[in-house]
Chain A
Amino acid sequence: MLPTPTYRAAIVLAVAAVISALGPAGIGWVVPVAVVGVLVGVDAFLAPAPWAVAVSRELPAVLPLDGEGTVIWRVRNPTERPLKVWLADGFAPSLGATRRRFALSLAGRGQQRVTTTLHPQRRGTFLPTELTVRVAGPLNLATRQAARSLPGRIEIHPRFRSRSEALLRIRRGRILEQGRRAARGAGTGTEFEALRDYVQGDEYRHVDWAATARVGHPVVRTYRVERDQTVIVLLDHGRLMAGAVDGVPRLDHAMDATLALATVTSALGDRIGLVAYGSRVHRVVAPRRDREQLRRLSTELHALQPELAASDHDAAVRAVLARTRRRALVVLLTDLAPEASEDTLLPVLPSLLRYHRVLVAGVRDPEIGERIDARVHDVADVYRAAGAATIEDARRRVVQGILALGAGVVDAEPRGFAAAVADAYLETKTSGGW
């Protein structure tokens, strides 16, 4: 790249212009221009090549969407004399870097470290590949600049806003389980736990007659809530999930619910897997129970964006049926919009319900309700309310259709959506599993 003059060169020329104007008339204009031109040329010649400056970058591998991270650059001066260096890293605006351009003054053979903070504004994988380095000559009259390849990778994972809600659900799940034990088998768990002596209040149906005959006094079976059950999250990321509710796409609300569900299920001993689909199945995470599953799900979800195509619910259901032999709770996170659900979702639910328990969850837009309940000032308000009522009425029809098929429904506003999904899971689990 051609060297570029600096502001200092312009200032030198301006000063020369003043001297020329005030000094002897014979100076003319050629002399100042020639002198400054020569100085700029010599300075550019003496400037080191931009690619000779050693630059390294440290990126955080993973950041949550609502988190922040630090990027570190280390720059080393390859020459003996002081050097002025400018850096510009190729960070996408959504990474929310406080700064991506720096001016550094390096001592001879010196090294400097500069940092900036990232405040990511959207999920995804970011691949900064290019770093631009500009180097000034010794007189700072000219600079040389070049773009250098410096590949990096940073994953911005979905925001897990409902983490505290999920932790509360874990406690609640454990309390429910313990309470059931304290009630000596009065719970409705189905997994055999132990035999114990009958006490007043035990259900007769829990009496183990064979054991009673052996020991000569009444013995009952105790049960616990089933563990190691499977939960499959069917995550729709078709076009309807691009709709923003409370400023956040439905898909991100659904991801939050997925992470909440994964946190609760793993803590309560169940396995959770994922099938993400749009016009086809894009991501599959096999059900697991270990603590790493939350990270795996987060990793798989982070780059998932709404697809501008209709969702193929049938393909998703077939994917679940093909991969999951064991009976599972299938949590379908989608939009309960009638235009898609009535024609494509409702017809495929029966085949899923034949083998699994199904919970369909969608985020309700609070703005719809606000429009309906808003005070009327003019006729435009009335039409606005009528439009919202149309949407809500259609949504209610879809909910009724899903319930009629035998699936459960969570239709909650964003603030409590993830918690409502987790509650529905807990309710299902403590009422006998699936």
Chain B
Amino acid sequence: MTAPATSSPTVGRRTVPVVVAALVLLGVVLALGPTRTGLPLAPDAAGDDGLLGLVRTLEDLEVEVEVTTRPPESVSTRAFVPLDVLPERRRDEWRTWVASGGTLVVADPSSRLHDEQVVAPPFGELMAAVEHPPGCDLLPAEITRILHDRWTGYLPPTDVSCFDLDDAAWLVEVPRGDGRMILLGSAAPFTNRWLAEADNAVLAATLLGPEVGDTLTFVPRPSPEEADVTLVELVPDGVWRLLGLVTLAVVLAVVARARRLGQPVEERLPPVVPSAELASSIADLTRRAGDRQGAAARLRARARHDVAHALGLPRGTPPQEVLRRLVATAPLDETMARRALLDDPVGDDDELIEVARSITTLHDRLEGPVLPADDGVPPGTPTSPR
């Protein structure tokens, strides 16, 4: 079998995968980004990762849910922070509120509202599908297990901790001044996706609305005017992970492309110089020196040579004689012929151009360039040696 040696449309071959990859990336970003069902962990979001179900459940339990980023005046109510992207001044207000006796439930392990150490090993997250008994006195006995997709613990457990795993706990209670913070490893059990699973709804009711008629302050994402988060912080983690891995894939592709198949072959080429280069150099030097007289003299000498040849005059015939014979032979403008054949002074460039044009006119009248006569070797004609 013989493979034909043909070139391939490499541009098309490269463009298609790039376009496909870009479309896939765009699709993933769109899939991970905000949807019509609302932002993740938003109180009005009906998607899997929204908290609308939680709000409705609490309202069914006759818990009044207020959505605001400002702490309430009363410290007898509870507050819930599913995702902490608050500006720092707002956090300070919340810390003050807690210290004065409030109860704040924070479900964001990375929140700067607390300084507890978090344990979230990457393999642990994957492997520890969280279905775990509470094992603490903080929660009522009805809660036997909660279920969600990730496990993040606080380390070391405080005095009050639930859902312990190894040395960490998923739920801890931390006293702050006169109040307390209840820290959760994740808000996932309260999302629409997981709220109906296991005892997740009971846990939510216990932590966020223990009594009928309670008020819960739901701390949402701050409005763009209020937030001091950057655009980068608003990008979901999944997108960052995707971008990181895609970047690594691009690096791999670059490495694959960069490996050259066979080295460039060095080749020493023979020297080639345009033959007329010397003529060009002479022309440039003559012009740079402003030697109009010399240039005219060379052209006139050649014209005399050609005219002498055409008239059958011997070599060395004086210019005046060539002119005289020419004018006598052909009906020519004598001024033009004189300008073309005699070495009269050339004052400026215009005169030089006139000399050249006169010579051209003379040649045209003599029916084109004339071959030299005195050397006996017209160009292109071989001459045998004697």
Contacts and interface: CB of A to CB of B under 8 A. Distances in A.
A412 B379 contact: yes
Given A130-B262, A306-B271, A408-B386, 17 more contacts: A4-B256, A10-B253, A13-B249, A25-B149, A86-B261, A94-B267, A102-B3, A132-B261, A249-B270, A364-B379, A382-B353, A385-B356, A387-B283, A400-B374, A409-B377, A411-B379, A424-B384
A424 B249 contact: no
A182 interface: no
Scoring B242, B296, B352 by chain A CB atoms within 10 A of each residue's CB, the highest score goes to B242
Which 3 A-B pairs give the minimum distances between C-beta atoms? A88-B262, A387-B283, A17-B245
Given A249-B270, A431-B384, A389 B302 contact: yes
Given A18-B242, A24-B149, A386 B298 contact: yes
Nearest to A126: B267
B11 interface: no
Given A114-B3, A367-B275, A382-B352, A403 B384 contact: no
B343 to A, nearest CB: 13
Interface in B76-123: 122-123
Interface string B354-377: 011100100100000100101111
A32 interface: yes
17 contacts: A13-B249, A13-B252, A17-B241, A17-B242, A20-B245, A21-B28, A28-B126, A30-B122, A33-B245, A367-B279, A369-B369, A379-B353, A382-B295, A385-B356, A386-B286, A389-B302, A412-B380
Interface of A: 4-7, 9-11, 13-14, 16-18, 20-22, 24-33, 86, 88-94, 98-102, 104, 112-117, 122, 124, 128, 130-132, 134, 143, 145, 147, 242-245, 249-250, 305-306, 308, 329, 337, 357-359, 361, 364-365, 367-369, 371-373, 375-376, 378-393, 396, 399-400, 403, 406-413, 416, 420-421, 423-424, 427-428, 431, 434
A93 B265 contact: yes
B213 interface: no
A390 B349 CA distance: 19
Contacts of B357: 376
B126 A242 contact: no
Interface string B273-294: 1111111111110110000001
A390 B298 contact: yes
Contact of A424 (B125, B281, B383, B386): B383
B380 A28 contact: no
A390 B259 CA distance: 56
Interface of B: 1-7, 17, 21, 24, 28, 31-32, 122-123, 125-127, 149-150, 237-239, 241-242, 244-246, 248-250, 252-253, 255-257, 259, 261-263, 265, 267, 269-284, 286-287, 294-296, 298-299, 301-302, 349, 352-353, 355-357, 360, 363, 369, 372, 374-377, 379-386
A409 B383 contact: yes
Contacts of B5: 98-99, 102, 114-117
B126 A16 contact: no
A89 B375 CA distance: 56
A347 to B, nearest CB: 18
Contacts of A399: 375, 377
B262 A90 contact: yes
B241 A132 contact: no
A312 to B, nearest CB: 18
Nearest to B380: A412
A191 to B, nearest CB: 19
Nearest to B254: A10
A390 B28 CA distance: 76
A381 B356 contact: yes
A145 B259 contact: yes
B238 A388 contact: no
B250 to A, nearest CB: 7
Contacts of B262: 88-90, 100-101, 130-132, 147
Scoring B248, B357, B376 by chain A CB atoms within 10 A of each residue's CB, the highest score goes to B248
B385 A17 contact: no
A242 B269 CA distance: 12
B256 A9 contact: yes
A18 B298 CA distance: 80
Contacts of B278: 337, 391
Contact of B245 (A16, A101, A372, A388): A16
A111 to B, nearest CB: 9
A272 B271 CA distance: 29
B383 A403 contact: yes
Nearest to B315: A400
Contacts of B4: 115
A91 B283 contact: no
Contact of A428 (B6, B125, B384): B384
Contacts of A403: 375-377, 383
Scoring A33, A132, A409, A431 by chain B CB atoms within 10 A of each residue's CB, the highest score goes to A409
B238 A22 contact: yes
B273 A10 contact: no
A339 to B, nearest CB: 8
A1 B180 CA distance: 62
B298 A122 contact: no
B263 A132 contact: yes
Contacts of A92: 265, 267
Given A145-B259, A428-B385, A387 B279 contact: yes
A22 B21 contact: no
A127 to B, nearest CB: 11
A378 B17 contact: no
A326 B265 CA distance: 48
Contacts of A420: 380-382
Contacts of A424: 382-384
A145 B255 CA distance: 14
Contact of B256 (A5, A113, A305, A361): A5
A168 B233 CA distance: 87
Contact of B379 (A24, A113, A380, A413): A413
